[in-house]
Amino acid sequence: MDDYDPSSMDAEIAQQHILNSVTPVTEIETVAVRDALHRVVATEIRSNIDVPGHTNSAMDGYAIRSKDIPAQDTKVFNLIGTSWAGRPFDNSVQQDECVRIMTGAAMPDGTDTVVMQEHVQVNDKQITIDAKQQANQNVRQAGEDIAKGDSVFIPGKFLQPADIGLIASLGVGEVNVFRKLRVAFFSTGDELVSIGTPLKTGQIYDSNRYTLWSMLTRLNAEIIDLGVVKDTREAVEQAFQEASQQADVVITSGGVSVGDADFVKETLEKLGEVNFWKVAMKPGRPLAFGKVNGAYFFGLPGNPVSVMVTFYIFVQAALEKLMGQPPRKRLRITAKSASRLRKRAGRVEYQRGIYSIDESGRYIVEKTGAQGSGILRSMSDANCFMFLPLESEGIEQGDDVEIWPFESFI
């Protein structure tokens, strides 16, 4: 028997409701450019300089005037000096003269073309070139990358390593970013114990806090881990009070399913406004969303795979918006399924798969074995979700299936 429920909420409606309900943080702080990685730009960054700042050579070779390129056969040039990166040649270049030039070195006055050293015959203080050269070849113009006054980044940009280098190339040492999002989380359940504690009969180690910590760390959130909370009214209420007073967002795993301890829902209703949904999806049907003492709240299922799936599908986009970053579009690829995928209509499914590229260059994917919501190995082995839409009744081996690579969630 499965847990299909025809009254469950459509997953896309739940996603959109959550995104429409959250408001980004507005507080801004200034950080050194080296501390800006994986932060979100809060004020526009404009360039005060040209990048590159001077016209320069893209190759090691010889700088010449393009009007001296021979129309046919070859021509001899007199070598009058060298332009080094950081040490330019100071004089002007006249007719049939050339300057030895290094990659990145400023183009000498009068020159506009660089002949690669591999295309030159050198004889003491002279070189010979042929008629195959093109005017302005192998030259990078001043401002070619970024012109003075250009807008480089606008608010909402999530800064990656290349962005940090780009900002540094402008000579900018500090960046205005939105403050980090503060996220508190805890697990509920008497059966859960933390790592380092010997297991008793009926107990399991709490893996959910470690997967949540890892996913939140990738988003560069400020993390508040409140551990495992026991199934008592007092402990749960204290945990919610503590979490909501410290954080912008509170995330729990477990305690939101039908049949869970009533005082969990009672506490949430007492401290805030929370909706309990049954979403038409697998894994991860039970979901709670709302506010607790002013903090946004996500109540995720207790099963390990369900925690990860609901985080990626519902929570991550909301956190990105809260951080000031427009939620990203996820990469979706069509692949040939090497596995038969069972499913019933009426819900979406996120089965776990391993995709690769075959000899013909086509994407292929196979499932990672058993797909139960408690089998965390199915996520560890996988590198994508195999998305089966609401109306799908399964996929036969050899059929096309839509896959969502995990790298698009990073």
Q: Mind listing the pLDDT tens digit for each residue in 104-152?
A: 999 999 999 999 999 999 999 999 999 999 999 999 999 999 999 999 9
What's the CA gap between 4 and 343, in Å, rounded?
11
At 142-184, the pLDDT tens digits run: 999 999 999 999 999 999 999 999 999 999 999 999 999 999 9
- Which pLDDT score is estimated for 230? 83
The helix (H) or strand (E) run that includes residue 97 is strand 97-101
CATH architecture of 333-409: Beta Barrel (2.40)
Q: How many residues does the chain have?
A: 410
Q: Give the chain's end-to-end CA distance (angstroms, integer).
A: 35
- Which pLDDT score is estimated for 276? 84
CATH number of this structure's domain 56-140: 2.170.190.11
Q: Where would I find the H helices in 52-153? A: none
Q: Is 124 left (phi over 0), alpha (psi -120 to 50) or beta?
A: left
Superfamily of domain 28-51+151-178: Molybdopterin biosynthesis moea protein, domain 2 (3.90.105.10)
CATH 2.40.340.10 boundaries in the chain = 333-409
| Per-residue confidence band for 257, with pLDDT thresholds at 50, 70 and 90 | low
Burial class of residue 33, CB neighbours in 10 A (0-12, 13-18, 19+): middle
At 189-232, the pLDDT tens digits run: 788 888 888 999 989 998 999 999 999 999 999 999 999 888 88
CATH 3.40.980.10 boundaries in the chain = 11-27+180-322
Q: Which of the 8 DSSP states describes residue 9?
A: B
What's the CA gap between 341 and 231, in Å, rounded?
37
CATH architecture of 11-27+180-322: 3-Layer(aba) Sandwich (3.40)
The secondary structure of 286-297 as a DSSP string is: EEEEEEETTEEE
Burial class of residue 261, CB neighbours in 10 A (0-12, 13-18, 19+): middle
Is the predicted pLDDT of residue 269 greater than 90, yes or no?
no
| Mean per-residue pLDDT of the chain | 93
Both tokens assigned to 221: 């959130």
What's the CA gap between 59 and 302, in Å, rounded?
59
**Closest-CA residue to 206 (of 242, 236, 230):** 230
Is 104 within 8 Å of 88 (Cβ atoms)?
Answer: no
| Per-residue confidence band for 6, with pLDDT thresholds at 50, 70 and 90 | low
